[in-house]
Every structure is written in structure tokens, then in C-alpha cells.
Amino acid sequence: MNRALVSTPRADGFHMPAEHAPQQAVLMAWPERPDNWRGNAGPAGEAFAAVAAAIQPATPVVMCVSPASEARARALLPAEVKVLIIPSNDSWMRDIGPSFVVNGAGGLRGVDWPFNAWGGAVDGLYDDWSLDDAMAEQLLEWRGVERYRAPLIMEGGAIHVDGEGTCYTTAECLLHPSRNPQLGRTAIETCLGDYLGVDSVIWLPHGLYNDETNGHVDNILHVVGPGEVALTWCDDPGDPMYAICREAGEALAAARDARGRTPLVHRLPLPGPLYVSETEAAGVTASAGMARHAGERLAASYANFLISNERVVFPLLDPAQDDAARDALASLFPSHTIVGVPGREILLGGGNIHCITQQVPQV
């Protein structure tokens, strides 16, 4: 058992580094759930393998799988990808894996956030999340990394950090009654400070429209450098994202990060809008929490990309906007290789490339 430390990362001199800092590995988990992934997760498995193959040339990938999926995963994945037998209830490693913290002197530890399937009894997506909640502890034990168990129900997709003392999140998610109803904004900010080593929390009012995670920040915004973010942007007044983007922009314009900067905002195009097709909906096994309906709007965003060691891997979602998204990312990351990977099958499950990955920082 990887017994949790009784202190906090801040007290021990640790903080979470930015995603654009060097990485030693990227963690993923294999998709299986037939009530979330159509065709018994067949197309999703191919999509996850393609994401792993896009990351692997830049950063070693570790894929967690159940015993039942090991053979298929191994057949689809590049030989260089490490396959690790740790089962999960679903495959969103950003949310079920640990957030890693460093101390600048070679130390690496992990934060294990309690997980309740994005809402528990209030609006959780499934009833049994015990394997997901155990994932962080098992991964940290496997890697020989000490663990903190945070007193805050949260998912990794609910936060972005800049590595310089600032955390970005959304009020829609972290103040949602399904997470920590006993905690107010100030108490949550204190906890984020203690477990991420941050001094400033910048709150966006809402996340992406119809995002079943209750508005994760990583689906609308991405930290791209010190004092700089990429924000999903919509110019159609008839789209509900029009108002959401503008209130986010206003919140960022009024904010100051931990270094006293007003974040510089770069705009990313909004794909679509995209909707679930009849064929896609018919391929999912019906369940109470994760019903998929034809015509349902998908929470599609180009902000849901991964930065990893001079490479940016982003989802291809809309032929009308993919090139514009690639150009925007290339301008933001001129020294990086920009790699697009078809992302619709991941989107159908409720997220995208950032959601299914979790970076391990280099120390």
C-alpha cells in the first residue's frame, strides 16, 4: 500500500509544474465501457492507440489496461508503449490519474484527488467508480512515488496551472453541488494552494456548453506559456458558446496571475457545432448515467490538446476548422511539432486528447 503523506505539497516545498515543462512520461488508460464507447469501444481503442502513437516519439507512453483488454491494446499500440495491468472504470486518465508535483531539487510526488465519476449521487455518470478512484494510488506505487491524498473531490481536467503560482479553473465545476458542497470558494482556493503550490486562482464562470464534466476548464482554455492562455472562441451570436466565451474573456481581462500579469489571451476556433449521429448513438449500450442520443450536441474543442516535449498533439474535429486550429497552435508553439489526430471517437465519449492523458514531469 502506498500510504498517503500527512503533510501537504506546499508545506513540503512542492508545486505542480506547467504542462509545457519537460516530461518523462505520459499516462493513459484503455477504453472499454460499452455504455460510453460505441461498438464495444472498438473505434475508441483505435483512436486511443493513434494518440499514443502521436505522443510516443516525443515522450514515453504508459497505457493502463485491464487483463481483458491487454491483447487488443498490445496489438494496436506501438511496441514502444508500456502496457501496465491496472484496470479502470473508464479511461479518462487526466481525471483519475495523479497530478504530479515537484520541488525543484529532484523531488517528485503525486496528488491523489478523490474521484466520484463527475458528480457522485447528484449527477455522476456511473455508480461504481472504485477502480477509477484507486488508479492514482496504484500508479504512484508502481512508479515508487510518494502520495498525497487531497481533501477535495476533483478531477485533473478541472485545473490548469502555469507553473509560476497560478491555477485556472471554472466556478461551474469546482463550485458545483456534486463535488464539495461543504466548501466555499475561499476554502477551495486554500486547498488548491496547499496541494498545487499555487498563490492565485483565476476562475472562469463556465466551461464549454453541454460538457458533462460540469464545465472542466481544460475543454475551454489551455495554458500555453507564462502569462498566456489559449481560449476557445465563438463569433456566432446564435450559439450558446458566444456568451460563454465572452464572459470567460472578461474574467481573464479582469484577472491578475500570481506574478501580477493580466493573462494574454489567444483565441482558438470553435469546431462545428458537432452532433451525435443516429449511427453513433445506436452503437452505444444504453445506461442510466451516460445515455447518448442522436442529435445531442458534442462538447467539441480544440483547446483539449496535449503539450509534451516540443510536440503538441491536438484533435482533428471539423474539416472546416482543423487547418485554422493547426495554424493557431503553430503560431503559439513555433518550436514544437504540431500533430493532428482524429478526435471524433474520443469526443463521442465526452472529452478529448487532454482528457485521456496525464503528464509526468521530468525532474
CA–CA distance, 64 with 61 (Å, rounded to integer): 10
Tell me the β-bridge partners of 315. Answer: 341
In the set 191, 234, 245, 355, the catalytic residue is 355
Is 191 noted as a catalytic residue in this protein? Answer: no
Nearest alpha-carbon partner for 321 in 343, 336, 294, 337: 343
Q: Look at residue 166 and give its three-state secondary structure.
A: strand
Q: Look at residue 100 and give its three-state secondary structure.
A: strand
Provide the 10 A C-beta neighbour count for residue 4. 14
Indicate the helix (H) or strand (E) that contains 295: none
The H-assigned helical ranges of the chain are: 42-55, 70-76, 93-96, 120-123, 130-143, 171-174, 185-196, 240-254, 278-282, 322-332, 344-348
Q: How far is CA 99 from CA 54, 89, 282, in A?
A: 22, 19, 36
CA–CA distance, 84 with 171 (Å, rounded to integer): 35
CA–CA distance, 287 with 346 (Å, rounded to integer): 18
CA–CA distance, 224 with 270 (Å, rounded to integer): 17
- All cell numbers assigned to 85: 495491468
Q: How far is CA 145 from CA 24, 91, 100, 133, 141, in A?
A: 14, 22, 9, 17, 6
Residue type at position 226: P
Catalytic center residues = 355
